[in-house]
Amino acid sequence: MKKVTINSVAEYAGVSKKTVSRVLNNEPNVSPATREKVLKVFKELDYKPNPIARGLARNKSFIIGCLYDNPSKSYITRVQSGALEACHKFNYNLLIHPCELRGTELIENVGQLLTTSRLDGLVLTPPFSDSQELIDYLKTQDIPYARVASAIQDDSSISVRSNDEQGAFELTEHLISLGHKEIAFIKGHPDHSATEKRFSGYRNALSKHGIDFNSHLVAEGNFSYHSGADSAKEILDLDPMPTAVFASNDYMAAAVLKLATQRQLKVPEDISIAGFDNAPIARHIWPGLTTIAQPVEEMTRQAVEQLIMQISDPSTEVYQKVLEAKLITRESTASR
Amino acid sequence: MKKVTINSVAEYAGVSKKTVSRVLNNEPNVSPATREKVLKVFKELDYKPNPIARGLARNKSFIIGCLYDNPSKSYITRVQSGALEACHKFNYNLLIHPCELRGTELIENVGQLLTTSRLDGLVLTPPFSDSQELIDYLKTQDIPYARVASAIQDDSSISVRSNDEQGAFELTEHLISLGHKEIAFIKGHPDHSATEKRFSGYRNALSKHGIDFNSHLVAEGNFSYHSGADSAKEILDLDPMPTAVFASNDYMAAAVLKLATQRQLKVPEDISIAGFDNAPIARHIWPGLTTIAQPVEEMTRQAVEQLIMQISDPSTEVYQKVLEAKLITRESTASR
DNA sequence: ATGATATTTGACACCGGTGTCATAATGTCA
DNA sequence: TGACATTATGACACCGGTGTCAAATATCAT
C-alpha cells in the first residue's frame, strides 16, 4: 500500500501541487475543469491529506483541549460528549486534560500542555472557567478559549452557561409550594461560581415567599459525595430537623438520602430531598431525586462550536449565551 | 514574544541545527562540551520543540487514541484516567473517540479517525477489545494497538485484563458461604467478553459447592441500568423469589436494589444483592453494594504504557497480563 | 610523525503540506 | 484587433524539525 501524498496526486493529475492544494481547500481561482480532474484523482487514489503536514504549514493542530477538574464523572462525560460532537462536525479532535485548579503549578501545567501539543483552542469547564488567573494567563498566551458555565464577566471571550440561579430558585419554590419552610441547603465547592449562584437562587426564593433565611440550615459542601455525607450528618442532627434538604448537586443529595435511609427516615414522608444537575444517580436510586436538569452537553457543544468558529475567523463576534435549566420532579420530594 | 525555533537556538549556540536536534533527542556522538552549551541555550531562550514539526519529520503524532462504547460513565473516566497517566509519563497525549460497535460503519469510522489524526496507537476498551473484525482491520492498517479487558486470544498484541472469572467465582462463593442457594444472575451485554467470563465464574462456583444450576434464575441484561431494571422485574417476580441476586455490574445491581426497595423488600434481610465493578454508585446508595473491584485504571495504564513502548521500539516483547479482581463486601449481602 | 580508526559536526535533502508572487491564459471593451 | 483587466496556474521558499552522508576533528597504535 503505497503512500498517497499531494505530490503523487499532482503528478498523476498533471497539475502542480499548489493547484491540488487549492482544490483541497476549496480555494477560488481554479477552473471547473481542473477542479473536476483533481477531485477525480482524489477518489481514484483514495487520497487523504496528512493533517500533521497541514498543521505544520498553517501552524494549526486541529485539536481542541478540554480542561477539567471535577469530581462528577457524569459531568465530565457529558462535557466530553458535547465537545466531541462539535469537534467532529468540523474535523477537529478533542484532547482531554484533567488537572488541579489549586496549587501554583496550574499555570505551569497548562503552559506545558500548550507547548507540547500546540492546541488550537481550549474549552474551560468549571472550575477553570471561573479562574481569573488562568484566563489572564491564556490572554497573554494568545490562545483562543471558551468558557463553559462561567460566572466571570469577560465580554472578550466566548461563554455559554446555564441559569443556575433561576434553577435553584425554581427548585426552592417547588419545595416551598409543597409546604416546606425549614429548607436546609448544602453549598457546593467555593471555587465554582455555580455555588454562589445556586445559593442566591435559594435565598431569593425564600425571601420572595417571606421565609426568613436561617444560616444554621446551611452546610458547606464541595460537590463531592463525601462532603455531602458530612453535611448530611450536620443537617439531620439539627433539632428540630428541617423538613427538606436542597443539596447543590445530586451526589451530595444522594449522600443525604443514604444517611436518612440508614437512620430509618422515610423519604419523602419524613424529609424531602432535592439535588441539582440531574446526574444519572438521581434516577438510579430510590426514591428518585427531584433535581434541576442543566443542558451540559448543549452548553459545551455550543461553546466548542463557537470556539472553532473563532479560530477559523478571529473576527467572529464573541458569542455569549445563557441557557435555561429545568426542574425535574421525582419521588424524593413531597408535601409535608 | 518571538518564536524560538531550532534555527534560532542553533544560531545562538553557534552550532548546526542538526546538532541541536541531536541534543534534543539525547543522541550519542555529541561532545559533552557542545551538549552543555546547547542545553544552556535551551534554558536561556526557553526553547520548546514544536511537536507538529517533529511529527511531520518522524511521521509520528505523539497521540494515542482511545476507543470506547460503554454505558458506564465511571468505567470510561477510569479508563481515561489510567490512559492519561501513561500518556503523560511519556509526553504523549490522549484523544478520545467514542463510537458504536454495531453497524457497518465501525471500520469506516475508525479508518476515518486514523487518516484524520494520524494516531500513533490505539487503546481498545470493551467491547472493541473483543471485536475480531476491528482487530483484523487494524492489523491490515499496520497500526499498533493494545487491548484492555479482552478475552480474544491473540499473542501478537498487547493485552491487559483482570480476572473476571475468578472475581465472579469469589463473589458467588461469598453468597454461598452466607447460606444462599437460589442465586439469580443477571448477564451483561453479549458483545462483551466479560459477560461470559462472569457467568462462568458464577456457574463454576455453584458447581463446586454442589448447587444445581437453574436457568430460570438467569436474566439477560446488557450492563445498562435500564436493562437491570427489566431483569430485576423478572427476578423479583419469580416464585419462590431467589434469596440473592448477582448482577454482572453495579448499575444493574442498583436497579435491582431500587425495585426491591420500591416493593418494600428489605435488603439484605429479604434479599441479598451484589454487583460487579465497584463503581461509585456501589457506595453511594444504601445499603452499599457488595461487589468486585477491578483495577480498571491500572489495566489501562499498563496497556497504554506498553503500547507506547512498542511504538518506540517495535521489537519489544508483547506484553500480556492478567490482574486480580478483589471482593468488596458491603451491606447489601447478608446471611439468610 | 604517520596512517588508521573512531568520534563529532554540519550541509543538504526531506517530511507533506501552504503562502507569495510572477507568469500564462482567458475575457472584456473600444 | 489591440490594450487592458481578470482569472488560472505553477515555481519556489517555507513551516520546524529529522535522516543521510560526507567532511572535519580527535584518538590511538606503531
The verdict on a CB contact (< 8 Å) between A286 and B261 is yes
Rounded to whole angstroms, the distance from the CA of residue A267 to the C1' of nucleotide C30 is 93
Which uninterrupted H or E stretch holds B272? strand B272-274
- Beta-bridge partners for B64: B94, B121
pLDDT for residue A142: 86
Decide: CB of A15 under 7 A of nucleic strand D: yes
Record: contact A254-B95, CB cut-off 8 A: no
Closest nucleotide to A4, Cα to C1': C16
In Å, how far is A122's CA from the nearest CA of chain B?
14
User: Once rounded to an integer, what is the mean pLDDT over residues B88-105?
Assistant: 87
Supply the pLDDT for residue B1.
Answer: 57
Q: Which of B47, B61, B70, B73 is the best residue to mutate to test the A interface, defined by the most A CB atoms within 10 Å of its own CB? A: B73
Percent with pLDDT over 90 in chain B: 85
In total, chain A counts a number of residues equal to: 336
A335 — contact with chain B (CB < 8 Å)?
A: no
Distance CA B13, CA B151 (A): 54
C1' (D7) to CA (A314) span, angstroms: 28
Res A65: pLDDT:
94
Range B59-81 average pLDDT? 91
Nearest CA in chain A to B116: A51
pLDDT at B77: 93
Q: Which residues pair with B94 in a beta bridge?
A: B64
Residues of chain B numbered 224-253 and touching chain A (CB < 8 Å): 225, 251
- Residues ≥6 apart with Cβ < 8 Å to A279: A72, A74, A75, A249, A250, A251, A291
Of A52, A76, A286, the CB nearest to B77: A76
For residue A133, the model assigns a pLDDT of 92
Mean pLDDT on B82-93: 92
**Cβ–Cβ < 8 Å for A279, A72:** yes
Do the domains spanning A6-49 and A164-294 agree at the CATH topology level? no
- Closest-CA residue to A206 (of A186, A189, A182, A190): A182
Q: Is the dihedral of CA B297, B299, B304, B309 positive or negative?
A: positive
pLDDT (tens digit per residue) in B251-276: 999 999 999 999 999 999 999 999 99
Q: Which amino acid is at B324?
A: E
* Residues A41 and A9 sit within 8 Å (Cβ to Cβ): yes
Is the C-beta atom of B116 closer than 7 angstroms to strand C?
Answer: no
Distance from CA of A209 to the nearest CA of B (A): 34
- Would you say B331 and B283 are in contact if contact means Cβ atoms under 8 Å apart? no
Residues 13-52 of A with CB under 7 A from strand C: 17-18, 21, 24-25, 48-50
Q: Mean pLDDT, chain A, as a whole number?
A: 94
For A120-154, how does the pLDDT look when each residue is reduced to its tens digit (9 = 90+)?
999 999 999 999 999 999 998 889 999 999 999 89
**% chain B with pLDDT above 70:** 99
**Architecture of the domain made up of A164-294:** 3-Layer(aba) Sandwich (3.40)
* DSSP secondary structure string for all residues of B99-157: --SSSTHHHHHHHHHHHHH--SEEEE-TTGGG-HHHHHHHHHHT--EEEES-----TTS
CA distances from A270 to A30, A236, A243 (A): 75, 11, 7
- CATH topology for A60-162+296-323 is Rossmann fold (3.40.50)
Smallest CA–CA distance, residue A252 to chain B, in Å, is 10
The answer to whether strand D lies under 7 Å from the CB of residue A115 is no
Instruction: Out of 1.10.260.40, 1.20.81.30, 3.30.360.10, 3.10.330.10, select the CATH number for domain A6-49.
Output: 1.10.260.40
Inter-residue contact B93 to B87 (CB < 8 Å)? yes
Cα of A207 vs its chain's centroid, Å:
30
In this structure, what C-alpha cell is assigned to residue B278? 465497584
The predicted-structure confidence for B194-220, as pLDDT tens digits, reads as follows 999 999 999 999 999 999 999 999 999
Q: Which residues of B touch A80 (CB under 8 A)?
A: 96
Determine the average pLDDT of the residues in A270-294: 96
Class of B61-162+296-324 per CATH?
Answer: alpha beta
* Chain segment B100-159, per-residue pLDDT in tens: 888 778 998 898 888 888 899 999 999 999 999 999 999 988 899 999 999 998 999 999
Taking the Cβ of residue B255 and every Cβ of chain A, the question of whether any pair is shorter than 8 Å is answered with yes
CA nearest to A147, candidates A284, A13, A322: A322
Number of CB pairs < 8 Å for A and B?
99
Half-sphere exposure of A177 toward its Cβ, with a 13 Å CA cutoff? 7
Residue-level pLDDT at A83: 96
Picking from B63, B95, B254, the nearest residue to A284 by CB comes out as B254
- Rounded to whole angstroms, the Cα distance separating B254 from B223 reads 11
Give residue-wise pLDDT tens across range A33-75: 999 999 999 999 999 999 999 999 999 988 999 999 987 888 9
pLDDT digits (tens, 9 = 90+) for A163-211: 999 999 999 999 999 999 999 999 999 999 999 999 999 999 999 999 9
Count of C-beta atoms within a 10 Å radius of residue A7 = 12
Strand D, nucleotides < 7 Å from a protein CB: these are 7-12, 14-20
B40/D24 CA-to-C1' distance in Å: 25
Amino acid B312: pLDDT:
86
Q: Is the CB of B16 under 7 A from strand D?
A: no
Whole-number pLDDT of residue B309: 92
Tell me how far the alpha carbon of residue A313 is from its chain's centroid.
23
Contact A154, A147 (CB under 8 A): yes
Query: B96-123 in b/e burial notation, b at 16+ Cβ within 10 A?
Result: bbebebeeeebbeebebbbbbbbbbbbb
Amino acid (one-letter) located at A330: R
Interface probe for A, chosen from B116, B139, B226 (most Cβ of A below 10 Å), is B116
Average pLDDT over residues A17-23: 95
pLDDT at A1: 57
| Domain layout of chain B by residue ranges | 6-49, 61-162+296-324, 164-294
Rounded-to-integer distance, Cα B146 and Cα B83, Å? 11
Is the per-residue pLDDT at B284 higher than 90? yes
Res. A101: pLDDT tops 90? no
Least confident of A266-270, A299-303, B57-61: B57-61
Q: B261: which chain A residues are within 8 Å (Cβ-Cβ)?
A: 286
Q: Considering CB atoms only, which of A51, A84, A117 is closest to B51?
A: A117
